[in-house]
Amino acid sequence: MSFVLTDARIAPMTGGPLIDRGVIVVNGDRIAHVGHDLPAAHSGLPHHDLEGRLVTPGLIDCHTHLVFGGNRAGEFEARLNGASYADIAKAGGGIVSTMRATRALGADALTDQALPRLDALIAEGVTTVEIKSGYGLERDSELAMLRAARALGERRAVAVKTTYLGAHAVPPEYAGRADAYLDEVCLPTLDAAQAEGLVDAVDGFCEGIAFSPAQIARVFDRAQALGLPVKLHAEQLSHLGGTALAARYGALSADHVEYATEDDVRALAAAGTVAVLLPGAFYTLRERQAPPVRAFRDHGVPMALATDCNPGSSPLTSLLLAMNMGCTLFGLTPAEALMGVTAHAARALGLSDRGVIAPGMRADLAIWDVEAPAELAYRIGFNPLHQRIFGGAL
């Protein structure tokens, strides 16, 4: 299938300016041409007149925990009554409560429960979504989560990238024995998942209520031995040194990073690591310390934005709302927010074939009923998507 989009207002996200009354030639699943004029060689293709609508790359949600069982509305109520996220985790709730609900489900049921969440993302123009494991915390259930995530990519026209997050929490059967959990469950399960071809990247939760930098380093060593890229939940609730560790391992991204210091920012810049900002979790947990956006900007650290969709700290299935929150809560510009869910999100996943509109890139596009790109971040709870193109398919 080849066709031409005409009278498009193109936000290429390459650093170049907006192209007004532009054309995009789609050839199969790739973009063949972008510009003001239609080359004669393509003029015979079917035309779709966009009547001046904005075209962006398909959106990329580069950090989600979309696959899980149950929900945690009860903890939402408990927090409103004064309990903290860390209190709830220490009392056996939090990630461990979702672990119980997730272990009770097989891969098929996990896929079914995640589909409405995925559909909400797709309805807003998402064409690539990263999905993490980390609520099984035992071999079979972690593998089931990864299989469920991959199955979501078969059920819908969307690209799914899977991340192994076995180092998300210490399950109750290993309470106080985090290193034994790593040796006996987390690392062998990573080997098994990789042998089954289920892993695109490896993540961990580096926090007082989860794993120390030294423990995360063990997971990263195994990932690197398997040839897998790493990323890390770092500096979300406190400063533990996860960001510097991520930079040392050349991580694709360091995520949350509210408590990152200027030295951490320098380390990320030197390593080329993306800072993934997750305002949904900041908002839900009513955190006070915003990530050091100005320092990221000053040091040239690319900032991505994602939903962090999960049942505990960020029950958010709107990437457009994440853009709005990134601006309102963290001080991003609307242009930075759009970079954060396109070009920089692609980079946070190590994907060089998407996130910008340029020849040779995947034809993943979102067509919007708006005039200015800033409108995407400006509105709250409104979806202006007109049409989505995934792999060249309208």
Instruction: Return the one option of ligand DI6, Fe ion, none that residue 312 interacts with (CB less than 5 to 8 A, by type).
Output: ligand DI6
Distance CA 309, CA 165 (A): 14
The reply to whether 308 sits near Fe ion by the rule CB under 5 A is yes
Toward ligand DI6, which CB reaches closer, 38 or 217?
217
Residue at shortest CB range from ligand DI6: 312
Q: Which stretch binds ligand DI6 (CB under 6 A): 94-102, 104-112, 240-248, 347-355?
A: 94-102
The reply to whether 213 sits near ligand DI6 by the rule CB under 6 A is no
x-or-dash pattern for ligand DI6, window 301-330, by CB under 6 A? -------x-xxxxx----------------
> Least distance from C-beta 217 to ligand DI6, angstroms?
17
The reply to whether 113 sits near ligand DI6 by the rule CB under 6 A is no
Please check whether residue 163 is in contact with residue 129, taking contact to mean a CB–CB distance below 8 angstroms: no
Q: For residue 149, which amino acid is it?
A: A
Tell how far CA 45 is from the center of its chain. Answer: 35
Instruction: Return the one option of ligand DI6, Fe ion, none that residue 296 interacts with (CB less than 5 to 8 A, by type).
Output: none
Instruction: Return the one option of ligand DI6, Fe ion, none that residue 324 interacts with (CB less than 5 to 8 A, by type).
Output: none
Q: Which stretch binds ligand DI6 (CB under 6 A): 92-100, 122-130, 297-305, 348-356?
A: 92-100
> Least distance from C-beta 308 to Fe ion, angstroms?
4
Toward ligand DI6, which CB reaches closer, 243 or 310?
310
Instruction: Return the one option of Fe ion, ligand DI6, none that residue 291 interacts with (CB less than 5 to 8 A, by type).
Output: none
> Least distance from C-beta 120 to Fe ion, angstroms?
17
Neighbours of 331 (CB within 10 A): 13
Q: Strands 54-57, 30-35: parallel, antiparallel or unpaired by DSSP?
A: unpaired
Distance CA 63, CA 163 (A): 9
Q: Dihedral, CA atoms, 363, 366, 372, 375, nearest 10 degrees?
A: -150
Tell me which of 216, 247, 281, 325 binds ligand DI6, using CB under 6 A. 281
**Residues 6+ away with beta carbon under 8 Å from 74:** none
**79-88 residues labelled b (16+ CB within 10 A) or e (exposed):** beeeeebeeb
Beta strands in 92-195 (DSSP E): 126-132, 159-167
Distance CA 329, CA 288 (A): 10
x-or-dash pattern for ligand DI6, window 168-187, by CB under 6 A? x-------------------
Q: Strands 201-206, 159-167: parallel, antiparallel or unpaired by DSSP?
A: parallel
> Least distance from C-beta 95 to ligand DI6, angstroms?
4
Q: Where are the alpha helices (DSSP H) in 11-92?
A: 73-80, 85-90
Site for Fe ion, rule CB under 5 A:
308
Site for ligand DI6, rule CB under 6 A:
94-95, 98, 168, 205, 233, 236, 281, 308, 310-314
